[in-house]
Amino acid sequence: MKVGIPRALLYYRYGSLWENYLRNLGVEVVLSPKTDEVILEQGLKCVSGEVCLPIKIVAGHLLYLKERVDAIFFPRLDWLYDGLYACPKMIGIVDVARMLLGEKVRLIAPSIKGNFTRAHLTAGLAVCANPVRVWQGWRRAVRSERGKRGRNEDNLPAAGRRTVALIGHFYNLNDEFIAGAIIRTFRQNGYEVITKESLPGRVLLNRSGFAHNIRWVYERELYNAFEYLLGRVDGFCMVVSMGCGPDSLVAEFMRSRAQRQGVPFLLLVIDEHTGIAGLVTRVEAFVELLNRRCLSRSGVAAGC
């Protein structure tokens, strides 16, 4: 049986776990390719122009897989720990997927409602009738992921390195098509880039202070990363998808907080019309500002 996984959205957090798990169940896994113009064009044709860029992109990945597999594995994240929800577009894209795929391809879309394991075991039984094999396959996949992560400390660049915190959803920042040019430009200009994926769970899952008021699961992570990195980096660059309600609220809060602390903050709002040249220009201008600020603080070029 060939099961496709769209290389978009939650894939960028759980992809290797899913691939391992399905392979443990004897499934042939087919990944959609990296996002490119063709994938995006496909997505644009079939979802509303009102939705955000990552949702348009995942629609293109689903259509790519539709012609090539027997089933598509596309879990639906309703809510995770602490009753924190995914955004409505992320929840709703699974219903859109059902419509896009029609009868041709089976959709394996377990709902994750707080219990991550149960949802995945249910999904496993959809491709493998042996519950013992499903349980063992899941345990093996989880163990192998723990071996890769197991990080308790942050992974900040060494002292004296110029560093920018890139704040944005993992499915945007890890998709080279969306954020590759931004990350490259910072690096080419001598800046280390840190994202929330480098921070330990104890930081991201913090529920005290303002974080307690944020009820979207990934938005809380973004905010916690921002709070933790304030004072530890030279500046922040936040990447927000046009039309993203949760991001726009949290971004505004972070922007004004950074402003009060005198920390440079660049907000990049992206959609399918955003040109790479324009993004690069804005990042370069921001780098210039960071460099000048660094020089004026130290008075000399040492460390800047």
Q: Which is nearer to ligand SF4, 76 or 169 (CB)?
A: 169
Burial class of residue 173, CB neighbours in 10 A (0-12, 13-18, 19+)? buried
244 phi and psi angles, rounded to 5 deg: -90, 105
CA-based R_g, the chain, Å: 20
| Chain CA centroid to CA 110, Å | 20
Question: What spatial distance separates the first Cα and last Cα of the chain, rounded to whole Å?
Answer: 55
Q: How far is the CB of 19 from ligand SF4 (least distance, A)?
A: 22
Neighbour count for residue 275 (Cβ, 10 Å) = 9
Q: How far is the CB of 8 from ligand SF4 (least distance, A)?
A: 10
Q: Which is nearer to ligand SF4, 240 or 258 (CB)?
A: 240
Using DSSP's 3-state secondary structure scheme, residue 84 falls into: coil
| Contact range with ligand SF4 by CB under 6 A, out of 120-128, 227-235, 239-247, 267-275 | 239-247
Q: How many residues bind ligand SF4, per CB under 6 A? A: 11
Residues 33-52 that bind ligand SF4 (CB under 6 A): 52
Q: Which is nearer to ligand SF4, 26 or 245 (CB)?
A: 245
For residue 241, give the nearest of 175, 158, 151 by alpha carbon: 175
Under the criterion CB under 6 A, does residue 54 sit at the interface with ligand SF4?
Answer: yes
Under the criterion CB under 6 A, does residue 169 sit at the interface with ligand SF4?
Answer: yes
> Using the rule CB under 6 A, which residue among 57, 87, 182, 237 binds ligand SF4?
87
Q: Which is nearer to ligand SF4, 79 or 135 (CB)?
A: 79
User: Which tokens go with 177?
Assistant: 């098509």
Under the criterion CB under 6 A, does residue 90 sit at the interface with ligand SF4?
Answer: yes
Q: Which is nearer to ligand SF4, 192 or 272 (CB)?
A: 272
| Contact range with ligand SF4 by CB under 6 A, out of 24-32, 149-157, 238-246, 294-302 | 238-246
CB-based contact 56:30 (threshold 8 Å): no
Phi/psi class of residue 30: alpha, beta or left (left: φ > 0; alpha: ψ in -120 to 50)? beta
User: Which tokens go with 216?
Assistant: 């979207």
Q: Which is nearer to ligand SF4, 80 or 87 (CB)?
A: 87
Under the criterion CB under 6 A, does residue 175 sit at the interface with ligand SF4?
Answer: no
Q: What share of the chain is helix, strand, coil (3-state, %, to 5)?
A: 55, 15, 30
* Positions in the binding site for ligand SF4 (CB under 6 A): 52, 54-55, 87, 89-90, 169, 241, 244, 246-247
